[in-house]
Structure 1
Amino acid sequence: MKQSVNRLKPFFENIHFEKEDNTMVINFGPQHPSSHGQMRLILELQGEEIVKARPDVGYLHRGMEKMGENMIYNEFLPTTDRMDYIAAASNNYGYAHAVEKLLGIEVPRRAEIIRTMLIELNRIIAHLFWLATHALDVGAMSVFLYTFREREFAMDLIEDYCGARLTHSTIRIGGVPLDLPDGWCEDLEKFLKILDVEVDKYEGLLTQNRIWRMRLENVGTISPEMAKSWACSGVTLRGSGIKWDLRREMPYGLYPELEFDVPVASTGDSYGRYLCYMQEMRECAKILRQLIPMYHESESQLMAHAPEYISASKEDIMTQNYSLMQHFVLVTQGMRPPKGEVYVATESPKGELGFMIVSDGSPYAYKMKLRAPSFWHTGIFEDLLPGHQLADVVTIIGSLNEVFGEIDR
């Protein structure tokens, strides 16, 4: 018996029933509901405090950039809907705007007005979705139900325009496919009146709510220096006190003609970002109200006139032989842009969305790179999460408003 114990003694000496420290490594996601099923955070904990964090992405691995290089230019446009699928029109616009710059064509004014209406309405939809899911993650159930109600009304307007609700491909290279249906602007005005009242109600539920403030204030604080070093954009950057909005700083489309404010918060925490999002919804409504009279005053042309790149109208295709042949070539073989390279950035609901396209003169992009804001905002977790409690992780993820469809690589 004594010999058996002596023989096993080295084995027992290597077993530690109590560690000297209380460090534990856990996986937050991809199964966790608040990680959206597509992100894994490897967290090192000291008790309940995070001491180290490493984000791991790649669970939605479609190769979006390579898909863009293996489709003709028009063929890739509906695929952009699947990036930030909460704000499909913003992706359509960013891509179409980049290709139009490559082609050197100008979009008709009415088409630009309709585009701006769609992307600002989509911005409201995206912000309502963010508020609903963020509040639900933190524990506020009622807000989720109210915001989804208004989101449905906004999606009804999108559906009235194009027949789709989520991935709607409402924008084309060179313009838009459809004019607004009769009564659409009147329905938009009714929705904006409802939205004004309801946004005040959301704030009444949350802004001074003691539990909401305890969960968000001084949580996930991003300093201006950290925001710039991680290339943050959108509300994530403006919530840290840096007033940078591409619609103002690098104007495009109709934005130089429109009056709107750029909300900024100085605190840099989750609560400051929340206040920015709430005010941005009001600014979107202000923009949409200015666009309605501009639409009524504009001419009816919806697509740019560039036969070598853009198909003629459906009426011409059905009645003119040359337009039919030209359309056939563009659909089957694709346009051939001039050789060159462009990078175009637009202000999506989540930040700077950029498309870099390198053309070699063929119907396919020689090289395409996407600058998606959620991809950059995921990297900041490495610096942002240490020092916070485990319970704060859900709050911080929600406040950064990430959609993992555009993180896909």
Structure 2
Amino acid sequence: MKQEIRNYTFNFGPQHPSAHGVLRLILEMDGETVMRADPHIGLLHRGTEKLAESKPFNQSVPYMDRLDYVSMMCNEHAYVRAIETLMGIEAPERAQWIRTLFDEVTRILNHLMWIGSNALDLGAMAVMLYAFREREELMDVYEAVSGARMHAAYYRPGGVYRDLPDHMPRYAESRWRKGEKLKRFNKWREGSMLDYLEAFAKDFPSRVDEYETLLTDNRIWKQRTVGIGVIPPDLAKAWGMTGPMLRGSGVEWDLRKTQPYARYADVDFDIAVGVNGDCYDRYLVRVFEMRESAKIIQQCVTWLRANPGPVMLDNYKVSPPSREEMKDDMEALIHHFKLFTEGYCVPAGETYSAVEGPKGEFGCYLISDGANKPFRVHLRAPGFAHLSSMDDITRGHMLSDVVAMIGTYDIVFGEVDR
């Protein structure tokens, strides 16, 4: 009697190391071939949007860092821009340049995490160690400017928390770093943060060359990525894809060029566009973006070095008084406490503000009813739209190709399960 052969289903995740968070993917398989992929989300539900509706506007800035926790300041940028739009205010020019600078620092941080983890998913272990070498150098910049290595809460409606520091923290002598080795680690840290970032931006392209030496012409890497997960341009637009996912499919769309914000209209950079729309093209797009981000950082450093000025509006409605003012003026002291407890009222209205995050368009739809808390907050996360296409893109691929696709989507579940 002939036995009937049926497809079988199993869980990929949520505990799988290649699931990039708490993705539960139910796969229907015919042998090693994917017949259906059903993404299940919600295992990390944080209720960020409802939490933001229960607190004064300023107190929700730290929530933004915890959404896509690899693109922290870019998330903050979308939220504070939405508030500024409703209030009819604009951050000082120096603050705008600092935001541009740190958006690109954040883009490099994100892509370093991506290239290291994606390579590790596909069996290339060394790239992770290379990428995290540079990532640590930029995390030191986050820490120096905000006091936190990840969740910075550095952007504010009306500007940024404070100006760039005049010096970078240095490594102390230890059993691991001493003598010439210690001097080498502290070489870039002799001057200001701008000096440090300039040295990093000049050196970084040579580090990207190292990543490309390991991957770009690597036979195994190309076998795992070329022709895998091809997304035609029309399909990419139909699924609402943005960022490297869209540009990898040949669509030249980047909010930094098409709808400039901060000071992107004043800096020179190019947009990378893919040809085939496969995993390999998306890899090349992100590598190119890292090089362009280094160019933008150098331009921001040049402008910031030549143009001192305020980094926060001199407007008591959104910014606290200085410590000197509070010592001499009881009214300023009262305002300080009022700002950090009750916050400020935002004029009634609604707006949508978006930035070109490292993963794609990160947007904040904000409604105010005139109170000191948002009436509604809705966040547009690129990872959610990308993950929705998983079934359509992976059908007919092998199980190992699903790992490559999840990696190339660059998913972080804080924003998907917001």
Query: So what's the TM-score if we normalise by structure 1?
Result: 0.94
Distance 1:393 1:316 in 2: 59
CA change 1:159–1:21 in 2 (3 A) is same
Partner of 2:381 in structure 1? 372
Partner of 1:108 in structure 2? 92
Q: Secondary structure, in 3 states, of the residue corresponding to 1:325?
A: helix
Q: 1:278 aligns with which of 283, 287, 290?
A: 287
Compute the displacement of 1:309 (Å): 3.2
Distance 2:53 2:163 in 1: 30
Q: Secondary structure, in 3 states, of the residue corresponding to 2:148?
A: coil
Distance 1:336 1:72 in 2: 9
Distance 2:323 2:391 in 1: 52
Partner of 2:209 in structure 1? 200
Amino acid at match of 1:59: L
Specify every segment of 5 or more residues in structure 1 that has no aligned partner in the other structure, as ranges. 1-16
Distance 2:18 2:61 in 1: 29
Amino acid at match of 2:87: L
Compute the displacement of 1:18 (Å): 7.5
Which has the higher mean CA deviation after the structures are superposed, 175-184 or 202-211?
Answer: 175-184
Q: Secondary structure, in 3 states, of the residue corresponding to 1:391?
A: helix
Distance 1:203 1:186 in 2: 27
Instruction: Note if contact 2:49-2:377 (Cα within 8 Å) is conserved in structure 1.
Output: yes
| Residue 67 of structure 2 is aligned to residue 58 of structure 1 | no
Deviations 1:315-342 (A, max 9, x none): 3334332222222222221210100001
CA change 1:271–1:342 in 2 (3 A) is same
Specify every segment of 5 or more residues in structure 2 that has no aligned partner in the other structure, as ranges. 167-191
CA change 1:214–1:361 in 2 (3 A) is same
Amino acid at match of 2:404: T
Aligned-residue RMSD, C-alpha:
1.3
Partner of 2:224 in structure 1? 215
| Residue 396 of structure 2 is aligned to residue 387 of structure 1 | yes
Which has the higher mean CA deviation after the structures are superposed, 330-339 or 271-280?
Answer: 330-339
Compute the displacement of 1:191 (Å): 1.3
CA change 1:37–1:106 in 2 (3 A) is closer
Deviations 1:351-370 (A, max 9, x none): 00000111001111111100
Instruction: Note if contact 1:309-1:336 (Cα within 8 Å) is conserved in structure 2.
Output: no
Deviations 1:80-129 (A, max 9, x none): 11001111111111111111111110100111111111111111011000
Amino acid at match of 1:98: A
1:116-155 paired onto structure 2 within 5 Å: 116-155=100-139
Amino acid at match of 1:251: P
Instruction: Note if contact 1:89-1:122 (Cα within 8 Å) is conserved in structure 2.
Output: yes
| Residue 326 of structure 2 is aligned to residue 348 of structure 1 | no
Partner of 2:240 in structure 1? 231
Partner of 2:57 in structure 1? 73
Partner of 1:331 in structure 2? 340
Q: 2:153 aligns with which of 155, 163, 169?
A: 169
| Residue 106 of structure 2 is aligned to residue 97 of structure 1 | no
Compute the displacement of 1:300 (Å): 1.9
| Residue 276 of structure 2 is aligned to residue 267 of structure 1 | yes
| Residue 20 of structure 2 is aligned to residue 36 of structure 1 | yes
Amino acid at match of 2:109: I
Partner of 1:5 in structure 2? none
Partner of 2:165 in structure 1? 181
Amino acid at match of 1:398: G
| Residue 169 of structure 2 is aligned to residue 160 of structure 1 | no
Larger-Rg structure: 1
Distance 1:37 1:288 in 2: 30
Compute the displacement of 1:292 (Å): 1.1
CA change 1:373–1:19 in 2 (3 A) is farther
Q: Secondary structure, in 3 states, of the residue corresponding to 2:386?
A: helix
Distance 1:130 1:323 in 2: 46
Amino acid at match of 1:174: G
| Residue 224 of structure 2 is aligned to residue 240 of structure 1 | no
Partner of 1:4 in structure 2? none
Q: Secondary structure, in 3 states, of the residue corresponding to 1:168?
A: coil
CA change 1:152–1:18 in 2 (3 A) is farther
Partner of 2:308 in structure 1? 299
Amino acid at match of 1:146: Y
CA change 1:131–1:105 in 2 (3 A) is same
Distance 2:317 2:129 in 1: 49
Q: 1:312 aligns with which of 314, 321, 327?
A: 321
Instruction: Note if contact 2:120-2:128 (Cα within 8 Å) is conserved in structure 1.
Output: yes
Distance 1:306 1:161 in 2: 22
Instruction: Note if contact 2:250-2:273 (Cα within 8 Å) is conserved in structure 1.
Output: yes
Partner of 1:402 in structure 2? 411
Amino acid at match of 1:240: S
Deviations 1:39-75 (A, max 9, x none): 1111111111111111110010111110111111010
Q: 1:25 aligns with which of 2, 6, 9?
A: 9
Which has the higher mean CA deviation after the structures are superposed, 270-279 or 62-71?
Answer: 62-71
Instruction: Note if contact 1:94-1:354 (Cα within 8 Å) is conserved in structure 2.
Output: yes
CA change 1:37–1:296 in 2 (3 A) is closer
Compute the displacement of 1:19 (Å): 4.9
Distance 1:315 1:405 in 2: 40
